[in-house]
Protein backbone atom coordinates (compact mmCIF):
# COMPACT_ATOMS: atom_id res chain seq x y z
CA UNK A 1 0.00 0.00 0.00
CA UNK A 2 1.03 3.61 -0.52
CA UNK A 3 2.65 5.34 2.46
CA UNK A 4 0.78 7.99 4.42
CA UNK A 5 1.71 11.16 2.55
CA UNK A 6 -0.18 14.40 3.05
CA UNK A 7 -0.65 17.30 0.65
CA UNK A 8 2.61 18.86 1.92
CA UNK A 9 4.60 15.72 1.01
CA UNK A 10 5.15 14.73 4.63
CA UNK A 11 5.46 10.97 5.13
CA UNK A 12 3.90 9.68 8.36
CA UNK A 13 5.58 6.64 9.87
CA UNK A 14 5.48 7.48 13.56
CA UNK A 15 2.39 6.59 15.60
CA UNK A 16 1.81 7.73 19.18
CA UNK A 17 -0.73 5.66 21.05
CA UNK A 18 -2.38 6.82 24.24
CA UNK A 19 -3.30 3.82 26.38
CA UNK A 20 -5.24 5.72 29.07
CA UNK A 21 -6.35 9.24 29.91
CA UNK A 22 -5.98 8.57 33.65
CA UNK A 23 -3.10 9.93 35.66
CA UNK A 24 -1.78 9.57 39.20
CA UNK A 25 -0.41 13.12 39.40
CA UNK A 26 -1.83 16.48 38.34
CA UNK A 27 0.73 18.62 36.49
CA UNK A 28 -0.83 22.08 36.30
CA UNK A 29 0.09 22.55 32.61
CA UNK A 30 -1.82 19.42 31.65
CA UNK A 31 -4.62 18.59 34.09
CA UNK A 32 -6.94 20.44 36.41
CA UNK A 33 -6.28 19.93 40.11
CA UNK A 34 -9.66 18.40 40.84
CA UNK A 35 -12.80 17.19 39.14
CA UNK A 36 -11.18 15.50 36.14
CA UNK A 37 -13.72 13.51 34.18
CA UNK A 38 -12.01 10.43 32.77
CA UNK A 39 -13.33 8.46 29.85
CA UNK A 40 -15.53 5.52 30.84
CA UNK A 41 -13.69 2.21 30.62
CA UNK A 42 -15.87 0.80 27.86
CA UNK A 43 -14.84 3.69 25.61
CA UNK A 44 -11.13 2.88 25.97
CA UNK A 45 -9.69 0.61 23.29
CA UNK A 46 -8.79 -2.87 24.47
CA UNK A 47 -5.48 -4.51 23.55
CA UNK A 48 -6.97 -6.45 20.62
CA UNK A 49 -8.31 -3.23 19.14
CA UNK A 50 -5.01 -1.38 19.60
CA UNK A 51 -3.09 -4.28 18.08
CA UNK A 52 -5.43 -4.47 15.09
CA UNK A 53 -5.07 -0.76 14.49
CA UNK A 54 -1.27 -0.99 14.65
CA UNK A 55 -1.25 -3.87 12.16
CA UNK A 56 -3.29 -1.74 9.77
CA UNK A 57 -1.03 1.26 10.39
CA UNK A 58 2.01 -0.87 9.54
CA UNK A 59 0.50 -1.63 6.13
CA UNK A 60 0.37 2.16 5.67
CA UNK A 61 4.06 2.54 6.45
CA UNK A 62 4.11 3.11 10.23
CA UNK A 63 7.43 1.87 11.66
CA UNK A 64 7.79 3.65 15.00
CA UNK A 65 5.51 3.56 18.02
CA UNK A 66 5.38 5.53 21.24
CA UNK A 67 3.06 4.56 24.08
CA UNK A 68 1.82 7.43 26.19
CA UNK A 69 -1.20 8.72 28.08
CA UNK A 70 -2.39 9.98 30.66
CA UNK A 71 0.00 7.87 32.61
CA UNK A 72 0.61 4.67 30.63
CA UNK A 73 1.90 2.69 33.62
CA UNK A 74 -1.62 2.89 35.09
CA UNK A 75 -2.88 0.69 32.27
CA UNK A 76 -3.26 -2.85 33.59
CA UNK A 77 -1.14 -5.42 31.75
CA UNK A 78 0.82 -2.79 29.82
CA UNK A 79 3.82 -5.12 29.43
CA UNK A 80 1.58 -7.56 27.54
CA UNK A 81 0.65 -4.83 25.11
CA UNK A 82 4.33 -3.90 24.69
CA UNK A 83 5.11 -7.51 23.87
CA UNK A 84 2.25 -7.81 21.38
CA UNK A 85 3.04 -4.59 19.56
CA UNK A 86 6.78 -5.28 19.51
CA UNK A 87 6.10 -8.63 17.83
CA UNK A 88 4.30 -7.03 14.87
CA UNK A 89 6.42 -7.40 11.77
CA UNK A 90 7.36 -3.98 10.47
CA UNK A 91 7.63 -2.24 13.84
CA UNK A 92 11.25 -1.13 14.08
CA UNK A 93 11.16 1.00 17.20
CA UNK A 94 8.99 1.36 20.28
CA UNK A 95 9.33 3.81 23.15
CA UNK A 96 7.27 4.86 26.16
CA UNK A 97 6.70 8.19 27.89
CA UNK A 98 5.94 8.01 31.62
CA UNK A 99 5.84 10.25 34.66
CA UNK A 100 8.00 7.64 36.39
CA UNK A 101 5.89 7.34 39.57
CA UNK A 102 5.27 3.60 39.03
CA UNK A 103 8.47 2.94 37.11
CA UNK A 104 10.53 1.36 39.89
CA UNK A 105 7.87 -1.37 40.20
CA UNK A 106 7.44 -1.92 36.45
CA UNK A 107 10.83 -1.27 34.83
CA UNK A 108 11.97 -4.90 34.87
CA UNK A 109 8.66 -6.26 33.52
CA UNK A 110 8.64 -3.70 30.72
CA UNK A 111 12.24 -4.49 29.85
CA UNK A 112 11.46 -8.20 29.82
CA UNK A 113 8.57 -7.46 27.44
CA UNK A 114 11.08 -5.99 25.00
CA UNK A 115 10.90 -2.26 25.70
CA UNK A 116 14.31 -0.53 25.46
CA UNK A 117 13.56 3.19 25.25
CA UNK A 118 11.97 5.38 27.89
CA UNK A 119 11.25 9.06 28.38
CA UNK A 120 10.68 9.97 32.01
CA UNK A 121 8.95 13.23 32.71
CA UNK A 122 10.72 15.28 35.41
CA UNK A 123 10.81 19.08 35.45
CA UNK A 124 12.85 19.70 38.57
CA UNK A 125 15.26 18.13 41.05
CA UNK A 126 13.71 20.20 43.83
CA UNK A 127 11.13 18.26 45.82
CA UNK A 128 9.06 21.31 46.72
CA UNK A 129 8.85 22.57 43.16
CA UNK A 130 7.99 19.05 42.03
CA UNK A 131 5.04 19.15 44.41
CA UNK A 132 4.02 22.61 43.30
CA UNK A 133 3.98 21.50 39.65
CA UNK A 134 2.43 18.05 40.03
CA UNK A 135 0.28 18.69 43.14
CA UNK A 136 1.61 15.38 44.48
CA UNK A 137 4.55 14.39 46.68
CA UNK A 138 6.05 11.69 44.46
CA UNK A 139 9.50 13.10 43.73
CA UNK A 140 11.34 10.23 45.46
CA UNK A 141 9.36 7.62 43.58
CA UNK A 142 10.24 9.20 40.23
CA UNK A 143 13.93 9.30 41.17
CA UNK A 144 13.76 5.65 42.20
CA UNK A 145 12.08 4.88 38.89
CA UNK A 146 14.94 6.50 36.95
CA UNK A 147 17.52 4.60 39.03
CA UNK A 148 15.72 1.34 38.43
CA UNK A 149 15.34 1.91 34.68
CA UNK A 150 19.07 2.45 34.38
CA UNK A 151 19.87 -0.51 36.61
CA UNK A 152 17.64 -2.80 34.55
CA UNK A 153 19.55 -1.77 31.42
CA UNK A 154 17.27 0.35 29.24
CA UNK A 155 19.36 1.47 26.26
CA UNK A 156 17.93 4.96 26.26
CA UNK A 157 16.50 6.86 29.19
CA UNK A 158 15.68 10.49 28.48
CA UNK A 159 14.09 13.09 30.72
CA UNK A 160 11.27 15.34 29.47
CA UNK A 161 11.19 18.68 31.27
CA UNK A 162 8.43 21.19 30.53
CA UNK A 163 9.82 24.70 30.34
CA UNK A 164 7.53 27.19 32.10
CA UNK A 165 8.74 30.76 32.54
CA UNK A 166 9.11 32.29 36.00
CA UNK A 167 9.05 28.81 37.47
CA UNK A 168 11.69 26.35 36.29
CA UNK A 169 14.59 28.69 35.53
CA UNK A 170 16.46 27.35 38.62
CA UNK A 171 16.06 23.79 37.29
CA UNK A 172 17.50 24.12 33.79
CA UNK A 173 21.18 23.85 34.74
CA UNK A 174 20.86 21.28 37.58
CA UNK A 175 18.87 18.96 35.30
CA UNK A 176 21.57 19.18 32.61
CA UNK A 177 24.27 18.48 35.21
CA UNK A 178 22.29 15.49 36.44
CA UNK A 179 21.95 14.25 32.87
CA UNK A 180 25.69 14.65 32.26
CA UNK A 181 26.46 12.56 35.34
CA UNK A 182 23.94 9.87 34.58
CA UNK A 183 24.18 9.56 30.80
CA UNK A 184 20.63 10.84 30.38
CA UNK A 185 19.63 13.33 27.69
CA UNK A 186 17.44 16.11 29.04
CA UNK A 187 14.75 17.27 26.64
CA UNK A 188 13.40 20.69 27.45
CA UNK A 189 9.90 21.13 26.05
CA UNK A 190 8.50 24.63 25.64
CA UNK A 191 5.18 24.96 27.49
CA UNK A 192 2.43 24.51 24.89
CA UNK A 193 -1.22 25.66 24.92
CA UNK A 194 -2.56 22.21 25.80
CA UNK A 195 -3.39 22.67 29.47
CA UNK A 196 -6.86 21.85 30.74
CA UNK A 197 -7.49 25.18 32.44
CA UNK A 198 -6.54 27.58 29.68
CA UNK A 199 -3.73 29.22 31.65
CA UNK A 200 -1.22 29.21 28.78
CA UNK A 201 -0.01 32.42 27.22
CA UNK A 202 3.14 33.36 25.35
CA UNK A 203 4.57 35.05 28.41
CA UNK A 204 4.60 31.72 30.31
CA UNK A 205 6.88 29.96 27.84
CA UNK A 206 10.53 29.63 28.78
CA UNK A 207 12.11 29.88 25.35
CA UNK A 208 14.77 27.59 23.94
CA UNK A 209 17.24 30.43 23.31
CA UNK A 210 16.99 31.52 26.95
CA UNK A 211 17.71 27.97 28.13
CA UNK A 212 20.59 27.58 25.68
CA UNK A 213 22.06 30.79 27.09
CA UNK A 214 21.83 29.52 30.69
CA UNK A 215 23.47 26.21 29.86
CA UNK A 216 26.25 27.78 27.84
CA UNK A 217 27.05 30.36 30.50
CA UNK A 218 26.97 27.98 33.45
CA UNK A 219 28.20 24.68 32.05
CA UNK A 220 29.95 25.36 28.76
CA UNK A 221 29.55 25.58 25.00
CA UNK A 222 27.11 23.34 23.17
CA UNK A 223 27.48 22.05 19.64
CA UNK A 224 24.49 21.13 17.56
CA UNK A 225 24.51 17.42 16.66
CA UNK A 226 25.07 17.15 12.93
CA UNK A 227 23.57 13.81 11.93
CA UNK A 228 20.19 14.09 13.67
CA UNK A 229 16.95 12.98 12.04
CA UNK A 230 15.44 16.14 10.52
CA UNK A 231 11.96 14.82 11.30
CA UNK A 232 12.58 14.42 15.05
CA UNK A 233 10.87 17.13 17.10
CA UNK A 234 13.90 17.93 19.27
CA UNK A 235 16.99 19.81 18.18
CA UNK A 236 19.86 18.10 19.96
CA UNK A 237 23.13 19.51 21.23
CA UNK A 238 26.23 17.99 22.77
CA UNK A 239 28.37 19.76 25.37
CA UNK A 240 31.68 20.66 23.73
CA UNK A 241 33.56 18.69 26.40
CA UNK A 242 31.83 15.57 25.06
CA UNK A 243 29.98 15.03 28.32
CA UNK A 244 26.27 14.82 27.78
CA UNK A 245 23.50 15.90 25.47
CA UNK A 246 20.45 18.12 25.71
CA UNK A 247 17.51 18.49 23.33
CA UNK A 248 14.97 21.27 22.85
CA UNK A 249 11.42 20.89 21.63
CA UNK A 250 10.80 24.44 20.51
CA UNK A 251 7.16 24.06 19.44
CA UNK A 252 6.44 27.70 20.24
CA UNK A 253 9.62 29.60 19.35
CA UNK A 254 10.65 27.45 16.35
CA UNK A 255 7.71 25.34 15.15
CA UNK A 256 8.81 22.23 13.24
CA UNK A 257 5.48 21.31 11.61
CA UNK A 258 6.95 21.14 8.10
CA UNK A 259 9.04 18.12 9.12
CA UNK A 260 6.30 16.33 11.05
CA UNK A 261 6.00 12.55 10.62
CA UNK A 262 3.66 11.91 13.56
CA UNK A 263 0.08 10.69 13.86
CA UNK A 264 -1.85 9.80 17.00
CA UNK A 265 -4.45 7.45 18.38
CA UNK A 266 -6.25 8.54 21.55
CA UNK A 267 -7.10 6.08 24.32
CA UNK A 268 -10.77 6.21 23.24
CA UNK A 269 -9.86 5.33 19.67
CA UNK A 270 -9.83 8.66 17.85
CA UNK A 271 -7.26 9.30 15.15
CA UNK A 272 -5.51 12.68 15.09
CA UNK A 273 -3.18 13.97 12.39
CA UNK A 274 -1.68 16.57 14.74
CA UNK A 275 -1.22 17.14 18.47
CA UNK A 276 -3.12 20.41 17.99
CA UNK A 277 -5.78 19.10 15.61
CA UNK A 278 -9.24 20.47 16.23
CA UNK A 279 -10.95 17.65 14.36
CA UNK A 280 -10.42 13.91 14.71
CA UNK A 281 -11.61 10.66 13.14
CA UNK A 282 -13.58 8.10 15.13
CA UNK A 283 -11.75 4.81 14.59
CA UNK A 284 -13.30 3.05 17.59
CA UNK A 285 -16.69 2.84 15.91
CA UNK A 286 -15.08 1.28 12.82
CA UNK A 287 -13.13 -1.16 15.02
CA UNK A 288 -16.35 -2.21 16.74
CA UNK A 289 -18.96 -2.22 13.95
CA UNK A 290 -17.42 -4.96 11.84
CA UNK A 291 -15.75 -2.62 9.33
CA UNK A 292 -12.99 -4.29 7.32
CA UNK A 293 -9.33 -3.31 7.70
CA UNK A 294 -9.47 -1.48 4.37
CA UNK A 295 -12.20 0.85 5.66
CA UNK A 296 -10.04 1.71 8.67
CA UNK A 297 -7.00 2.25 6.47
CA UNK A 298 -9.08 4.50 4.24
CA UNK A 299 -10.26 6.57 7.22
CA UNK A 300 -6.62 7.06 8.28
CA UNK A 301 -5.54 7.97 4.75
CA UNK A 302 -8.38 10.48 4.42
CA UNK A 303 -7.48 12.11 7.73
CA UNK A 304 -3.80 12.41 6.79
CA UNK A 305 -4.79 13.86 3.39
CA UNK A 306 -6.69 16.59 5.22
CA UNK A 307 -3.75 17.44 7.51
CA UNK A 308 -3.09 21.14 7.82
CA UNK A 309 0.26 22.79 7.27
CA UNK A 310 0.74 23.16 11.00
CA UNK A 311 -0.48 24.66 14.26
CA UNK A 312 -0.82 28.44 14.35
CA UNK A 313 0.28 29.03 17.96
CA UNK A 314 2.00 32.25 16.99
CA UNK A 315 -0.95 33.78 15.15
CA UNK A 316 -4.29 35.23 16.20
CA UNK A 317 -5.92 32.35 14.29
CA UNK A 318 -4.80 29.76 16.86
CA UNK A 319 -7.58 27.68 18.40
CA UNK A 320 -6.56 25.27 21.17
CA UNK A 321 -7.66 21.67 20.60
CA UNK A 322 -10.87 20.61 22.33
CA UNK A 323 -9.00 18.01 24.41
CA UNK A 324 -6.18 18.84 26.84
CA UNK A 325 -2.82 17.05 26.76
CA UNK A 326 -3.68 14.13 29.06
CA UNK A 327 -6.66 13.23 26.91
CA UNK A 328 -4.82 13.47 23.57
CA UNK A 329 -1.65 11.67 24.62
CA UNK A 330 1.49 13.80 24.59
N1 LIG B 1 2.13 10.97 31.86
C2 LIG B 1 3.24 10.80 31.01
C3 LIG B 1 4.25 11.90 31.19
O4 LIG B 1 3.95 12.85 31.90
O5 LIG B 1 5.32 11.80 30.62
C6 LIG B 1 2.86 10.70 29.54
C7 LIG B 1 1.82 11.66 29.04
S8 LIG B 1 2.27 13.36 29.13
C9 LIG B 1 0.86 14.15 28.45
C10 LIG B 1 3.52 13.44 27.87
C11 LIG B 1 4.45 14.60 27.94
O12 LIG B 1 3.75 15.77 27.67
C13 LIG B 1 5.09 14.82 29.29
O14 LIG B 1 6.30 14.13 29.36
C15 LIG B 1 5.26 16.31 29.38
O16 LIG B 1 6.60 16.60 29.20
C17 LIG B 1 4.49 16.84 28.21
N18 LIG B 1 3.52 17.90 28.50
C19 LIG B 1 2.37 17.82 29.22
N20 LIG B 1 1.70 18.99 29.19
C21 LIG B 1 2.44 19.84 28.43
C22 LIG B 1 2.28 21.19 27.99
N23 LIG B 1 1.20 21.91 28.31
N24 LIG B 1 3.25 21.73 27.22
C25 LIG B 1 4.34 21.01 26.86
N26 LIG B 1 4.52 19.73 27.21
C27 LIG B 1 3.60 19.15 27.99
FE1 LIG C 1 -0.12 13.21 34.14
FE2 LIG C 1 1.75 13.34 32.24
FE3 LIG C 1 -0.25 15.11 32.31
FE4 LIG C 1 1.59 15.21 34.19
S5 LIG C 1 1.94 15.55 32.00
S6 LIG C 1 -0.64 15.30 34.52
S7 LIG C 1 2.09 13.11 34.45
S8 LIG C 1 -0.44 12.95 31.92
Give the chain's residues under pLDDT 70.
none
- CB distance 99 to ligand 2 below 6 Å: yes
Residue 19 Cβ contacting ligand 2 at under 6 Å? no
User: What's the number of domains the chain is made of?
Assistant: 1
Burial (0-12, 13-18, 19+ Cβ within 10 Å), 144: middle
Q: CA 121 to CA 99: how far, in whole Å?
A: 5
Q: What pLDDT is recorded for position 314? A: 85
Q: Report how far residue 38's alpha carbon sits from residue 42's, in angstroms, rounded to the nearest whole number.
A: 11
CA of 325 to the centre of ligand 1 (A): 7
**Where does ligand 1 bind, in terms of residues with CB under 6 Å?**
23, 29-30, 68-69, 71, 97-99, 121, 160, 162, 189, 191-192, 194-195, 325-326, 330
Cβ atoms of residues 202 and 188 within 8 Å: no
Are 104 and 141 a contacting pair, CB within 8 Å? yes
Which pLDDT belongs to residue 236?
97
Report the pLDDT value the prediction gives residue 197, as an integer from 0 to 100: 87
Q: Say which CATH number the domain at 153 has.
A: 3.20.20.70
Which atom of ligand 1 lies at the shortest distance from residue 123's CA?
Answer: 16
Q: Which residue's CA is the nearest one to ligand 2's atom 1?
A: 23
Provide the residue range defining the domain that includes 103: 4-328
Is the entire prediction scored with pTM above 0.85? yes
Look at residue 231 in the predicted model and tell me its pLDDT: 87
Amino acid sequence: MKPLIDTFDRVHDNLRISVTDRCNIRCFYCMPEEGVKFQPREEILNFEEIERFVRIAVTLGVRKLRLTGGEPLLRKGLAKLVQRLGAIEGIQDMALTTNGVLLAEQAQTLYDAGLRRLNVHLDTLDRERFQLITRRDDFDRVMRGIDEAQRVGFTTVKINAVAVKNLVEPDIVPLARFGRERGIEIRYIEFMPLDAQGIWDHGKVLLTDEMLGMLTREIGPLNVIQDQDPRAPATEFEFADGKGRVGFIASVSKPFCLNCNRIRLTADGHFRYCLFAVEETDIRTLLRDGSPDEAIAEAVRASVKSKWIGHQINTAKFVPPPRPMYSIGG
